[in-house]
Amino acid sequence: MIQKRTGRKLTSTVAGLFTLCTLTALRADVKPAALFGDHMVLQQGMSVPVWGWADSGEQVTVTIAGQKQSATAAADRKWMVRLTNLRSSTDPIEMTIAGKNTIWIVDILVGEVWLGSGQSNMDFVVSGDQVKYPRMAQRFAGVVNEAEEIAAANCPNIREFRVPLKTTETPLDDVAGKWQVCTPETVPGFSAIAYFFSRDLQRAIHEPIGFITSAFGASCAQAWVSKDVLDTDPRLKTIMDGFAAQVSAFQTAAAGGAENSTPPPAAVAARGGGDPFRNQHNPYVLWNGMIKPIQPYAIRGVLWYQGESITEGLQLYPVVMEHVIESWRQQWGQGAFPFYFVQLAAQDADSNRPEVREAQAQALKVPNTRMAVAMDIGERKNVHPKNKQELCERLARIARANVYGEKIEYYGPMYDSMQVEGPSIRVKFTHVGGGLVSRGGELKWFQIAGGDRNFVDGAAKIDGNTVVVTAPGITDPTAVRYAWHRWPEGANLYNADGLPAPQFRSDDWALSGSAPAAGGRGLRRRD
């Protein structure tokens, strides 16, 4: 029997009615994972796993672009083959997956595949017009110049696969979903990060781009890490013990336990209907439902946009993020693939205070990571800023320079060191590009402190590739900070490439509730 794979449906070429015997037989048919469907994009230039299910002991053969790879389904009915030497192709190709039945998948492109994960700003879709697009019930939606962007989105070589929101107690093997070709009709429901990053990258490298979006609003970092990884780190014992207590309390209450049994916390009940496994803040529930099922689909790298919902505390956040990065790399088995994350935009909210952005920046200590600065494109009272275009231009620059070898600047001025010169401090930077720029007038948001550690506003001037800062009453300065505020409106240090300097501090003085003191050192990476 030959079957055509169309999204999640299998359309048989054999006419006739399905009898009970036929339905029973179909349960044992060869079935690929949902990611392998019409319009998919496969990663060029590396080993590409293709997997699914069949009868135990059944041989499955995958044919594509002149090569055949075969595997035998194991006792658990799972099979996997690995394709090799796939070359970039904007001309659609086909794949067949054959065992006792044959699956036919069409309109496949070969190019670059990226995964986007994190919170609502990654899930945020292009259109917020729910009158025109009533089926798109998204709270996080609507970019700047929405109508113009949608009309221009005729980009058939860009495709997105959106992983449905799913929290689970145990790891899943598959997800629902299908690849969407980017057109003005489909792009309103695309992740804005997925679309604009893919668009900007494609303009530079001229390759098909596939983007897998697996993001959940308000999720915490520990929700995206597997249980076995979290359990091995004693620093996370408090988080894991707290979650276990929630689960125990919920199970006791659900089983009709003693009258004096402790009910689930109100916050848990409000967010997940009482079931801790439905709460996206809790450990491993999103890895189980939204990451494990898509591993190890071949990808070039990961984009990550998360940070507002940090419930584990700033000291542990860098620990958890290191596990996100390193464990995903190990589980995918592709080595240290690029992991690029967005530092929180400025916002007049406690969640976006500078200590949080500093904790995020600690991930730069992990090899092959980069950070896109969004401090200057936030909105004072909106946690979901609409200017996703400029942010994605920065993310694409990072990828173009670090993955695809383009000789372009990809960072704004990055704090390197400081030197006291009498009553002033001279600040040195890397990534100055064509030079330092004060956008829109005199430099703002520089502060210095003396021995009393009391920071005061300073006057800052560009001097070559450095900035010199002084302040009235400070005759013996010891430390300097820039944009150290949750809403540093008008912070205006850029380089000539139009890229902003991130916040920094030269001191390592302890901050209340912050990550281990790192100062600007968390940003001083030479690679």
Q: How confident is the model over 438-461, as a mean pLDDT?
A: 97
Percent of the chain having pLDDT more than 70? Answer: 87
- Looking at residue 136, its pLDDT comes to 60
In angstroms, rounded to a whole number, what is the distance separating the alpha carbons of residues 488 and 345?
Answer: 10
For 330-386, how does the pLDDT look when each residue is reduced to its tens digit (9 = 90+)?
A: 999 999 999 999 999 999 999 999 999 999 999 999 999 999 999 999 999 999 999
* Final residue of a structural domain among 279, 302, 337: 279
Packing angle, helices 317-332 and 354-361, rounded to 10: 30
What is the span of the domain harbouring residue 247? Answer: 233-279
For 505-519, how does the pLDDT look when each residue is reduced to its tens digit (9 = 90+)?
A: 999 998 854 433 333
CA 355 from centre of chain: 21
Question: Has residue 317 got a pLDDT over 80?
Answer: yes
Judge whether 447 lies within some domain: yes
In angstroms, rounded to a whole number, what is the distance separating the alpha carbons of residues 467 and 428?
Answer: 7
CA distances from 442 to 334, 448, 471, 490, 491 (A): 47, 17, 15, 10, 10
Percent of the chain having pLDDT more than 90? Answer: 83
Sign of CA dihedral 149, 294, 242, 234: negative
- Closest C-alpha to 391, from 455, 481, 305: 305
Q: How confident is the model over 3-19, as a mean pLDDT?
A: 41
For 103-153, how does the pLDDT look when each residue is reduced to its tens digit (9 = 90+)?
A: 999 999 999 999 999 999 999 999 988 777 765 656 689 999 999 999 999
Q: How confident is the model over 160-182, as a mean pLDDT?
A: 97
Strands (E), 18-154: 31-32, 41-43, 48-53, 59-64, 67-72, 78-83, 89-98, 102-118
- Looking at residue 398, its pLDDT comes to 99
Q: Where is 246: in which H helix or E strand?
A: helix 237-254
- Looking at residue 4, its pLDDT comes to 53
- Looking at residue 1, its pLDDT comes to 53
Question: Has residue 91 got a pLDDT over 80?
Answer: yes
Q: How confident is the model over 180-207, as a mean pLDDT?
A: 97
With contact defined as beta carbons under 8 Å apart, do 331 and 296 qualify?
Answer: yes
| Terminal CA-CA length for the chain | 54
* Final residue of a structural domain among 258, 279, 300: 279
State the residue for tokens 């380089």.
Answer: 495
Residues near 118 by Cβ (< 8 Å), separated by ≥ 6? 215, 219, 304, 305, 306, 341, 342
Judge whether 438 lies within some domain: yes
- Looking at residue 140, its pLDDT comes to 84
Q: How confident is the model over 79-86, as a mean pLDDT?
A: 96
User: What total number of domains does the chain contain?
Assistant: 2
Q: 7 falls in which pLDDT band (50, 70, 90)?
A: very low
Question: Has residue 284 got a pLDDT over 70?
Answer: yes
Of how many residues is the chain composed?
Answer: 527
Q: Looking at beta carbons, which pairs linking 10-19 to residues 24 or more positions away fall under 8 Å?
A: 10/103
CA distances from 273 to 22, 109, 281, 490 (A): 40, 42, 13, 43
- The mean of the pLDDT values for the chain is 90
- Looking at residue 139, its pLDDT comes to 61
With contact defined as beta carbons under 8 Å apart, do 500 and 491 qualify?
Answer: yes
In angstroms, rounded to a whole number, what is the distance separating the alpha carbons of residues 281 and 201?
Answer: 32
Judge whether 339 lies within some domain: no
To 5 degrees, how large is the angle CA 411–CA 352–CA 415?
A: 30
* Final residue of a structural domain among 279, 308, 340: 279
Judge whether 238 lies within some domain: yes
State the residue for tokens 């013990």.
Answer: 241
Judge whether 422 lies within some domain: yes
For 30-64, how does the pLDDT look when each residue is reduced to its tens digit (9 = 90+)?
A: 999 999 999 999 999 999 999 999 999 999 999 99
For 473-515, how does the pLDDT look when each residue is reduced to its tens digit (9 = 90+)?
A: 999 999 999 999 999 999 999 999 999 999 999 999 988 544 3
With contact defined as beta carbons under 8 Å apart, do 153 and 182 qualify?
Answer: yes
For 214-270, how does the pLDDT look when each residue is reduced to its tens digit (9 = 90+)?
A: 999 999 999 999 999 999 999 999 999 999 999 999 999 888 754 444 544 444 444
Judge whether 335 lies within some domain: no
Judge whether 159 lies within some domain: no
Burial of residue 394 (CB within 10 Å: 0-12, 13-18, 19+) is buried
Q: How confident is the model over 160-183, as a mean pLDDT?
A: 97
- Looking at residue 273, its pLDDT comes to 52
Partner residues linked to 480 by β-bridges: 448
In the chain, what is the greatest distance between 2 CA atoms, to the nearest angstrom? 91
- Helix, strand, coil content of the chain in percent (nearest 5): 25, 30, 45
Judge whether 249 lies within some domain: yes
